[in-house]
Amino acid sequence: MNINRRTLLALALATGMSAPAFAVAQAESIKIGLLATFEGAFTVLGEDSERGALTAVDEFGGKVAGNDIEIVKGSSDASPDSAVRAARKLVEQDGVKVLIGPLSGDEGIAVKDYAKTQPDVTFLNGSSAAQDTTLRDPAENFFRFSTDGAQWMAGLGDYAFNEKGYQKVATVAEDYSFPYTQVFGFMAEFCKAGGTVPSKSWVPIGNKDYSSVIAAIPDDVDAIYVALGGADAVNFLSQYNDAGGQAPLIGGSITVDQTVLTAKGRMRDVLIGTPAAGPTADTNDAEAWTEFSAAYKKQDGAFPSPSLFAHAYYINMKAALLALDEVGGDLSDGGKKFREALSNLEFETPTGKVSLDENRNAIADMFLTEVSEADDGTLVNKLIKVTPQVNQTLGIPKDEFLALGAVSRENPSCP
Amino acid sequence: MVDTSGSRTNPLAQGQGMTRRQAWGIVVLVVAAVFIWMVFTQWPDWLNAILISKKAFLSAILNGLTLAGLYFLVASGFTLVFGLMRNVNLAHGSLYLLGAYIGYEFAEWTGYWLIGVAAGFLVLAVVGLVMQILVFRRLEGDDLRQTLVTIGISVVAADLMLAYWGGTTYQILTPGWLSGAIKLPVVTAVRSNGTEVFLVYPFYRLIVLLSAIVIGIGLWLLINRTRIGAMIRAGVDDRDMLAASGVNVHFVFAIVFALGAGLAGLAGVVGGSALSVAPGEDVRYLLASLVVVIVGGMGSITGAAIGALIIGLAEQIGLVYFPTYGVVLTFVIMVVTLAIRPQGIMGRSQ
Amino acid sequence: MTDVTLDPAVRRRQSRNWLEKAGIGHILLAFFLLIYPAMASDFFLTQIGGYSLVLGMIALSLMLLAGYGGMVSLAQITVAGAAGYVVAIFGENNSGVYGFGWPWWIYGPLAIMIASLMSAVIGWIAVRTEGIYTIMITLAVATACFYFAQQNYALFNGFPGYNGLRAPDAFGLNWRDPVPFYYLCLANAVVAYVAVLYGARSTFGLTLQAVRDNQRRMRAIGFNVTAHKVFAWWLAGLIAGAAGILLVWFNGRISPGTIAVGPSINILVIAIIGGLRHPIGPFLGAVIVVLMQTFAIDIVGAERFNTLIGLVFLVIVFISPDGILGLWERFKPQEGRDSWRSFKKAPNTDGNQGRNA
């Protein structure tokens, strides 16, 4: 009989689709998935997140409840699609029962939604800080032991108006949900204190040329609030310096992060003296922080001080390991006992006590900082003030807070 | 009977009305006059209300011009390569990015920015030569295949560059004598105490614009006033005839590709000094080159200049005045051009 | 009444029953695909099987345009994405924007209709271009749509896109469960495949191929070339639209990232690797690419899978521009002339040089 082309094609397809299903490893190790941005513009941040997570693993000596900890990495590029793809691979192909991540705001919302389709897997946040991940429509199996972008801004609006005397501030931020959250957090306090924000510039994602945006900012503002991260922040600061910008800056949490402070360029003059707020402060001399900082520095390629991404991943990983310890590493009931343990978990972190609210979002201390030069010439965020135990609704009653509406380009507004 | 000799081409004598060229000329003059007025006078309030501020407007225009200069540098190589070899080199963006990385390495190593620029140009010219010999010579005539091969090369190149240089963003530091802002003799506002505020603009960007103009003029002279240029232009019109007349077509191709790639590398270093170097820039500048060359016309240096002007200005004005959708505008212009006049403004119809 | 002058091979072909017409290859393939769920794990069923079928369908729409119509389009994923956004807006979603909650049997056909309409419009815009210019205009359209979707929050919910797009519960089954979803994708893929395969031999199909080969001549004969091309785009839009609905049910979400330049090039890579000669090509390419994307990470190391895929693509384009199918064409025994037992060179072959089966 003649075997024709189609037959062989059919056989080829058959071989392809029936490649043997991989059996899930049956060792006594516990597989924990680690999802961060290891591709794209946020790669540096992803690498630091990994260092933070590994610091927590090292603290437990690589074992929890007698089992080895096996970290399986998943990579995304800060887009929600890639985060869900990576999460799906970790959960459905590699069979992790605990997943820590993602890094970026919109990724968090997407992964939370995916979590709803996988009720037997427990998801902990990495550092994603969009508000809606836990505030609206939360998932029962998504836990965030780090705080969101609005919480990070606690204390900054007040400081800018009252201490620094800025009355009119223009904002420059990227056009997606995490910067919306940060601007929201800043303006909540600043507008309430009496300040006005006459101009808000939302820069399209991926744009690197800020000179026109800088030129369009009105001349009569007292300061410019900048909520950009990573490479974008470096670009903005260089271009602001080159354009001879005069107005002082106020930083969002990731604008004055270590990834930006250690970048090369002529931005030092522009940066020094910039106030900002966030979940960490480099010059924090609390013992817990210095210990954590020292442990972090043992990792390969560590920065002089842990970034907030390393810090967030550390806290979330530590929470997972503490809860695993409590249930003796037993995830056989679909993780129910594990999640029970997580919901009730309260522990001391390098930055103070952390506990969860009813949406499984963290309540933690926030730090107001200012960029200054350390003795060795590097730039650090000097601690000015600690705002204790900030919750997701920023101290406002929950229904009032929800009534303020979801964050967007126009909300909030106080021209 | 009907006098068809001269009066048809001399409408002024006939009183027939204007030719198209004269009409365009008047439009350009009017626009220029309005523009000059806008630059040098103080603006009335209603103008400030529409256009945010004089500073914003002028900065947008200047930024558009300097960005156009950068786009011209990147796109000129692209248009030459397509015009001559009918090859859409979709790895052009990768050449830009590689040039930026190479320039960064050399600038760091020697400490001189200019050496970085030269290195970017030379190394990429060699890479272009190699690509021409190894890849394009074998695939001559098959447009689709060349396109696909260059797509494949760009995917692999992007990943390898990511592997070697990582995802970090690099800043190529411009030397001190090129950085900082200068005061331009244009008044943007008058303070309440009567002193005038002059427009302050980054010096480096003006240098980029200047170098783009110089290189553009150089290229134009090369194409239009030298023998090699004549061969290139002949090749654009009719490749087979050029080969038949005894010219070593492969040699000419190789020169053009090397030049095009070298220009992309140079643009990479120059652009990377103003806007940093990071993965993803390759796709961005590839798309930008595509749009510029489509709008301006394939194979034409003047076309690349005009296209770059249109796109650079559209992008910056869009960024300031229509920040939400300005970024879509560039591609809408490209679609409209392809739909209505596929050969571009200065291109010749096939 | 048999014509005695007919070649015996042709006469044999004419007197086949439907089983022989379908071809042993198709029968075997159908059998294997039908019993696949019995052998494969849930992961392989959805992530490899279902996903390959969906991507294969989108690539099939590209193959229809490129292989039979000579128009290479980089906008097929955009068309599929349009269907996906319709599902998000008119179905249910978790993003708090729109989500009218219409049932699947309303938003499904609506999505396919809108997608095919959009495809026809793109085709109409691109109808005067050819070759490279078609690639570029479709790339420009795709990029413009991407940026628009990313910046517009009113309709598209911008950068985050829509979450929580669930496949429906119908006829007592949840169609996102592994086995039902796989069969759903399989059914759609088979319908699309058969439609393209036999449509290629229909009057329209043959006219389209004639237009591809010599547009000017067809116009001179009196065919409305523009109408034929736009209709082809419309048909391709139907296939891509159906695939788009399956894609969002598979992912549970849609965002501008789904229709960016990267995924668009991915579809082109799939179609080229498989081969543009025969409708099975796109599916073959999809299986190869999905397998590489899923397992290259384990073979090549965490990050360099893009290099692997790019290199495979380059090798295939260099060696065999017709993809895997083209490679197969070169090495297979000639149909009806050789068997595996004797590799005699056929004396005179037309070598199946045409682009279709």
3-state helix, strand, coil in chain A (%, to 5): 40, 20, 40
Examine the domain organization and report whether A125 and A221 are in the same domain. Answer: no
Nearest chain A CA: its distance from B262 CA (Å) = 24
Asked whether the beta carbons of A199 and A217 are under 8 A apart, the reply is: yes
**Would you say the C-alpha torsion A78, A81, A82, A85 has a positive or negative sign?**
positive
Examine the domain organization and report whether A248 and A297 are in the same domain. Answer: no
DSSP-derived 3-state class of residue B197: strand
Asked whether the beta carbons of C69 and C229 are under 8 A apart, the reply is: yes
Instruction: Tally the C-alpha atoms within 13 A of residue C173's C-alpha that lie toward its C-beta.
Output: 11
Query: Which of A42, A103, A174, A212 to mutate to probe the B interface, most B CBs <10 Å?
Result: A212
A341-344 long-range contacts (CB < 8 A, ≥24 apart) are A342/A122, A342/A124, A342/A143, A343/A143
Q: How confident is the model at residue C301 (pLDDT cuts 50, 70, 90)?
A: low
Amino acid at C16: R
What share of chain C has pLDDT > 90, as a percent?
43
Q: How confident is the model at residue C60 (pLDDT cuts 50, 70, 90)?
A: very high
Residue-number span of the structural domain to which C189 is assigned: 45-260
Asked whether the beta carbons of A199 and A163 are under 8 A apart, the reply is: no
Does residue B161 have a pLDDT over 80? yes
With tokens 């990576």, the residue in question is A86
- Region B277-298: what's the mean pLDDT? 86
**Would you say the C-alpha torsion B58, B64, B65, B70 has a positive or negative sign?**
positive
A102: preceding bond cis by omega (within 30 degrees): yes
Q: How confident is the model at residue B222 (pLDDT cuts 50, 70, 90)?
A: confident
Examine the domain organization and report whether A187 and A223 are in the same domain. Answer: yes
Q: How confident is the model at residue A3 (pLDDT cuts 50, 70, 90)?
A: very low
Taking CB atoms and an 8 Å cutoff, what residues of chain C touch A38? 302-303
The structural domain count of chain A equals: 2
- Find chains touching chain C: ≥3 CB pairs under 8 Å: A, B
Examine the domain organization and report whether A399 and A268 are in the same domain. Answer: yes
Q: How confident is the model at residue B307 (pLDDT cuts 50, 70, 90)?
A: very high
Does residue C255 lie in a domain region? yes
| Whether A165 contacts chain B with CB within 8 A | no
Examine the domain organization and report whether A179 and A271 are in the same domain. Answer: yes
Alpha-carbon span A251 to A271, nearest angstrom: 9
A203/B323 CB distance under 8 A: yes
Does residue B5 have a pLDDT over 60? no
DSSP-derived 3-state class of residue B208: helix
C268/B142 CB distance under 8 A: no
Q: Nearest CA to A36 among B103, B342, B104, B167?
A: B167
| Whether A72 contacts chain C with CB within 8 A | no
Chain A with chain B: Cβ pairs closer than 8 A: 113
Examine the domain organization and report whether A358 and A394 are in the same domain. Answer: no
Alpha-carbon span A88 to A97, nearest angstrom: 12
Strands (E), C94-209: 162-163, 169-170, 173-174
| Whether A209 contacts chain B with CB within 8 A | yes
Residue of B nearest to C271 (CA): B148
Q: Which residue has the higher pLDDT, C123 or A238?
A: C123
CB-closest option in C24, C158, C283 to A7? C24
Looking at chain A from residue 11 to 40, which residues have their Cβ under 8 Å from any Cβ of chain C? 11-14, 16-19, 21, 38-39
Residue of A nearest to B179 (CA): A242
Does residue C234 lie in a domain region? yes
Examine the domain organization and report whether A62 and A139 are in the same domain. Answer: yes
Please tell me which of A35-44, A95-104, B43-52, B173-182 the model is most confident about, judged by mean pLDDT: A95-104
- What's the predicted TM-score (pTM) here? 0.86
The DSSP 8-state label assigned to residue A367 in this structure reads E
- Region B163-172: what's the mean pLDDT? 81
- Region C56-85: what's the mean pLDDT? 94
The DSSP 8-state label assigned to residue A390 in this structure reads E
pLDDT tens by residue, C25-56: 888 888 888 888 888 888 888 888 999 999 99
Asked whether the beta carbons of C299 and C340 are under 8 A apart, the reply is: no
Examine the domain organization and report whether A110 and A38 are in the same domain. Answer: yes
Asked whether the beta carbons of A124 and A99 are under 8 A apart, the reply is: yes
A412: preceding bond cis by omega (within 30 degrees): yes
Asked whether the beta carbons of A237 and A285 are under 8 A apart, the reply is: no
The DSSP 8-state label assigned to residue A68 in this structure reads E
Taking CB atoms and an 8 Å cutoff, what residues of chain C touch A175? 151, 158-159
DSSP states along A221-238: -SEEEEE--HHHHHHHHH
Does residue A408 lie in a domain region? no
Examine the domain organization and report whether A228 and A81 are in the same domain. Answer: no
Examine the domain organization and report whether A165 and A276 are in the same domain. Answer: yes
| Whether C311 contacts chain B with CB within 8 A | yes
Residue-number span of the structural domain to which A395 is assigned: 151-284+366-403
Examine the domain organization and report whether A191 and A177 are in the same domain. Answer: yes
CATH classification at residue A121: 3.40.50.2300
Residue of C nearest to B166 (CA): C303
Q: Which residue has the higher pLDDT, A320 or A411?
A: A320
CB-closest option in B169, B189, B200 to A234? B169
Determine the pLDDT at residue C339: 46
Alpha-carbon span A382 to B67, nearest angstrom: 38
Please tell me which of A267-271, A327-331, B236-240, C302-306 the model is most confident about, judged by mean pLDDT: A327-331
B144/C265 CB distance under 8 A: no
Residue of C nearest to A80 (CA): C160
Q: How confident is the model at residue C24 (pLDDT cuts 50, 70, 90)?
A: confident
Taking CB atoms and an 8 Å cutoff, what residues of chain B touch C270? none
Q: How confident is the model at residue B246 (pLDDT cuts 50, 70, 90)?
A: confident
CB-closest option in B144, B291, B338 to C129? B338
pLDDT tens by residue, A20-30: 444 444 457 88
Amino acid at C355: R
- Region A371-375: what's the mean pLDDT? 87
Mean residue pLDDT of chain A comes to 86
According to DSSP, the β-strands at C173-174 and B196-202 are unpaired
CB-closest option in B200, B205, B316 to A244? B200
Does residue A21 lie in a domain region? no
The structural domain count of chain C equals: 1
The answer for residues whose C-beta is within 8 angstroms of residue B226's C-beta and 6 or more apart is none
Q: Which residue has the higher pLDDT, C297 or A74?
A: A74
Examine the domain organization and report whether A103 and A51 are in the same domain. Answer: yes
A113/C150 CB distance under 8 A: no
CB-closest option in B144, B162, B163 to C72? B144
Strands (E), chain C: 162-163, 169-170, 173-174, 253-254
Determine the pLDDT at residue B163: 84
Q: Where are the domains of chain B?
A: 76-278, 280-350
